[in-house]
Amino acid sequence: MKKQLTILLSLTVLIFSCKKEVNSSTDQPEQTSVDVRAVLTKQPWKLKEIRALLGNTLSYYLRNGQGNTANFDKEYISFKTDNTGTYFNGDSAYKITSWNFKDAALSVVVYNVAYRGDTIPVTWEHLKVTNDSLNYSEFFTRNGQTALSVATRIPSTGTNPQ
């Protein structure tokens, strides 16, 4: 009886603690009907926040934050409507030779970066796009090391995308 009561209370707490996410400024559900391709190609995107594991090294970055273990202040990515683009790592620009959505839901993007004589395929999964942010998980392999990260990007406006 005690075990059943504990399970019942746990389920009750779980059910009542779950709620639908809402936009706090309007108290309405977040907009989900954006033209993903148009938003992605509209402007360059800079990192707002990233948590990454490259090989065995953890990195964290929050724009204008304290305690960062990596610096992405000048980094940005730009996708063009012709399925090419540019990745700027803060020091050098690299051509995105191609990019495409890999699913009908437009939640997976694979792009290929020409990087120092090699082509690196980068995959973004679980892509969530709004007019003012991109959220995704990312993975790729470079120089024999696999990278896995979770990131949020925001628009990079002006003549200098930083």
Measured distance CA(161)–CA(87) in Å, rounded: 11
Return the CATH fold of 43-155: Lipocalin (2.40.128)
The radius of gyration of the chain's CA atoms, rounded to the nearest angstrom, is 19
Please state the pTM of the whole predicted model.
0.78
Q: How far is CA 26 from CA 21, 22, 33, 133, 154, in A?
A: 12, 8, 17, 17, 20
User: Tens of pLDDT along 95-152?
Assistant: 999 999 999 999 999 999 999 999 999 999 999 999 999 999 999 999 899 999 999 9
Measured distance CA(53)–CA(24) in Å, rounded: 32
| Single-letter amino acid code for the residue at 127 | L
Please list, in sequence order, all residues whose beta carbon lies within 8 angstroms of the beta carbon of residue 54, skipping any fewer than 6 positions away. Answer: 142, 145, 146, 147
Q: Torsions phi, psi of 73, nearest 5?
A: -55, -35
Which token pair is 77? 């990515």
User: Tens of pLDDT along 82-99?
Assistant: 999 999 999 999 999 999
